[in-house]
Amino acid sequence: MNQLVDLPTRRVEAWKYSDLRAAVDERVQFAVRRDRAAPEVVAASTSAGIIGALAAQAGEVERLSIVEGEAVVRVDRPGGDGNLAPRLLEVDVAAGGSLTRVVVQRASDAIILDAAHVTLGAGATFRQFALAEGGRLARVETHVTVEGAGAHIELNGLYLAGSAKHADLTSVITHKAPSATTRQLIKGVASKGGRGVFQGKIVVERAAQQTDARQYHHGLLLEAGAEVFAKPELMIHADDVQCAHGNTAGGLDESAKFYLRSRGVPEKQARAMLIEAFLLAALPDGLPTEIDAELRDCIGAWLETSI
């Protein structure tokens, strides 16, 4: 009899808040079966490498090399109802190169698994912004490895977890070379029945002296029954570094809402204004005008239907 591969459950630390095995059931059209799976899928099925292994089996692996200059990549992940949709991007940004990646993960009933593995050379820059509206389970996972001195990383994102939607932004940034900088800001909102997840780990190896890394997450629970889970981590093995991380989660500022209401702003509009201001702070500067406008429109559309 066909048997499902042992996909990671919440007992696996890297998938603690996103139980992939529980999400995969008979409705999934892309069935991951042990008798069909490549050996690397079975071997990786209980590790953080599962997305890459599943993507390899599905033929959804892309490779990108940035040799010099600056490139901007816009990725759309609409998903499909009832599907398991894994995809892996492998990126090599050579010395002095620059890549800006924008991921827009649309609301879906599918299981969306998007992974990027990025390697940076000396003086290279990687900027990413991910907007995740969630799915039955949606995970945008980013691994960045700093191989060259003086690299720069900006890794911002938003999750908008509406009712019955699960949105997971997970990242691991590993500093192996000195004098690199990391800036990460993740913000998100969850309404009743929605779950937002942020897992972020920054590793500074012994050789990565003079690393400057900052990581922050702020979650907003819009009503009872909303869920936000966050696990920011720093693992520092060098002694000449500047590193910090922070995490907050809570509800809307009632005093600010009262101020708007007292000046005639309707309840729904007041809530939308406060949530929008909270979220827009995570949008990075310098995005192409059309992409910046699209992201703002996505936020506005979500607020219109979700609050």
- Give domain status of residue 1, yes or no: no
- Give domain status of residue 5, yes or no: no
Phi, psi dihedral angles at 97 (to 5 degrees): -80, 165
Task: With H, G, I as helix, E, B as strand and everything else as coil, classify residue 196.
Answer: strand
- Give domain status of residue 19, yes or no: yes
Structurally, the chain folds into a number of domains equal to 1
Cβ pair 214, 188 in contact under 8 A: no
- Give domain status of residue 141, yes or no: yes
Please give the pLDDT value at position 1: 36
Please give the pLDDT value at position 24: 83
- Give domain status of residue 2, yes or no: no
Q: How many CB atoms lie within 10 A of CB 122?
A: 16
Q: What are the DSSP E strand ranges found in the chain? A: 61-66, 70-77, 84-93, 98-105, 111-120, 125-132, 137-146, 152-161, 166-175, 181-190, 195-204, 212-221, 227-236, 242-250
Please give the pLDDT value at position 116: 96
1 contacts: CB under 8 Å, gap ≥ 6: none
Q: Pairing mode, if any, of strands 137-146 and 111-120?
A: parallel
Please give the pLDDT value at position 53: 84
Please give the pLDDT value at position 52: 87
- Give domain status of residue 193, yes or no: yes
Cβ pair 200, 168 in contact under 8 A: no
Task: Output the furthest CA–CA distance in the chain (Å, rounded).
Answer: 66
Q: Which domain holds residue 85?
A: 13-306
* Residues facing 249 on adjacent strands: 219
- Give domain status of residue 78, yes or no: yes
Residues of the chain with pLDDT under 70: 1-6, 25-48, 79-82
Please give the pLDDT value at position 31: 47
> Is the whole-model pTM more than 0.85?
yes
